[in-house]
Amino acid sequence: MTQLYSQISGWGKYVPEKILTNYDLEKMVDTSHEWIMQRSGIAERRIAGEDETTATMAVAAARQALDVANLAPTDLDLIIVSTSSPDYFVPAVSSTVQAMLGATCPAFIIATGCTGFVYGLVTAHQFIATGAFKRILLIGVELISRFLNWEDRDTCVLFGDGAGAVVITPSLAPRGVFSFDLGSNGDQGHHLTLKGGGSANPMSYDVIDKGENYLYMNGREVFKFASRVLPRSLRAILEQSDLSLQEVDLLIPHQANARIIDMAVRSINFDPQKVFLNLHKYGNTSAASIPIALVEAIQEGRVKADDKIALVSFGAGLTWASVMLQWGVSSQNLNGHGAAAAMPVQAEKVVI
């Protein structure tokens, strides 16, 4: 059987208009701009408007990605939505997104927290590599602000809302995902939880009184985990793809904390110039952080044809997920909407 690669042939992002700065947060909880900047590198984050939902943000990012890929929603074979802050438990927000887009394909969610987008990319890659599907829309989206306790300074200063989307199609040339590393330390799950509302602890007045309807994070433990796992998982995808650290052109880590990224990168002597960071603008957008960063890296001209790009994520579970990608399009085609018109989407050429 012909070897099929899974290239990213469309991309888009959506962030809500409303900006919440560290100075705004100073008026809400006992914190300071200096503390948040120094401990996390975050200056501001976006907060969804009252009329927005996880699905509306996902659809806004998806429409851009479809535009770039020059595809209609009805062309899609599969939609994967990675999120841990869905509109409802039931139905899955992937089906809501499918209906809002006017797509007719199957759809499902992945809910591994901050690693959801990369788990989704690896999943999409399997469907493409086996020839089962040719046009997959993958969205990482979070409307996490509705699950935060705005009186808890440990969490509310760190997170933000947003969405990023990619379209994944087959390629005969080596493109897209060529190695991955997925993992889960479920015994550490209690360090990052939203305890209330599930089958183990159904929603009740008691749950609300205890604040278990909000996200809880043991920041120090997650910090330690993330600092360990980031370099380890990066090494794993490099080894599998037979690449050296020097051959990586761009590292896009999960945008949780600039200090975690800085420490991890220093520990392996990786060139900090090759690390893409935008968390100062958006905070931690969980499953949306890597796709939003990827889209901005493309738009800022940081991604060139044949570049080797490492995506490394870590978070709730506790899980990790990393992917080594080879970029498949030239940088002059990479600015904004409609770019894919000039870009080879190879799905048509594939014989399965």
Using CB under 6 A, list all residues that contact ligand UT7.
31, 35, 39-40, 114, 153-154, 157-158, 219-220, 222-223, 226, 256-257, 260, 284, 286, 315
Question: Torsions phi, psi of 7, nearest 5?
Answer: -95, 150
Output the smallest distance, CB 152 to ligand UT7, in A: 9
Render 81-92 in DSSP notation, one character per residue.
Answer: EE-SS-S-SSS-
Output the smallest distance, CB 140 to ligand UT7, in A: 12
Residues whose CB falls within 8 Å of the CB of residue 311, separated by 6 or more in sequence, listed in order: 118, 121, 252, 253, 290, 294, 322, 323, 325
Describe the chain by its helix, strand, coil percentages, rounded to 5: 40, 25, 35
Q: Would you state the torsion angle of the CA atoms of residues 220, 222, 223, 229, taken in this order, to the nearest 10 degrees?
A: 150
Q: Which amino acid is it at 259?
A: R
State which residue has the least CB distance to ligand UT7: 219
Annotated catalytic residue 125:
no
Closer to ligand UT7 at the Cβ: 29 or 105? Answer: 29
Output the smallest distance, CB 344 to ligand UT7, in A: 35
Scan for tokens 């829309």, then name that residue: 137
Closer to ligand UT7 at the Cβ: 35 or 299? Answer: 35
Closer to ligand UT7 at the Cβ: 157 or 339? Answer: 157
Tokens of residue 251, six digits: 């590292």
- Rounded Cα distance between 11 and 337, Å, is 9
Annotated catalytic residue 156:
no
Given the residues 125, 191, 254, 257, select the one marked as catalytic.
Answer: 254
- Rounded Cα distance between 295 and 129, Å, is 24
Contact 19, 160 (CB under 8 A): no
Contact 16, 255 (CB under 8 A): no
Closer to ligand UT7 at the Cβ: 27 or 220? Answer: 220
**Nearest C-alpha neighbor of 46 from the set 283, 254, 215:** 283
Output the smallest distance, CB 220 to ligand UT7, in A: 5
Given the residues 114, 125, 156, 257, select the one marked as catalytic.
Answer: 114
Polymer length of the chain: 352
Render 304-328 in DSSP notation, one character per residue.
Answer: -TT-EEEEEEEETTTEEEEEEEE--
Given the residues 125, 156, 191, 284, select the one marked as catalytic.
Answer: 284
Closer to ligand UT7 at the Cβ: 138 or 222? Answer: 222
Output the smallest distance, CB 8 to ligand UT7, in A: 23
Closer to ligand UT7 at the Cβ: 58 or 256? Answer: 256
- Rounded Cα distance between 245 and 247, Å, is 5
Output the smallest distance, CB 209 to ligand UT7, in A: 23
Annotated catalytic residue 284:
yes
- Rounded Cα distance between 201 and 277, Å, is 37
| Residues carrying an active site annotation | 114, 254, 284
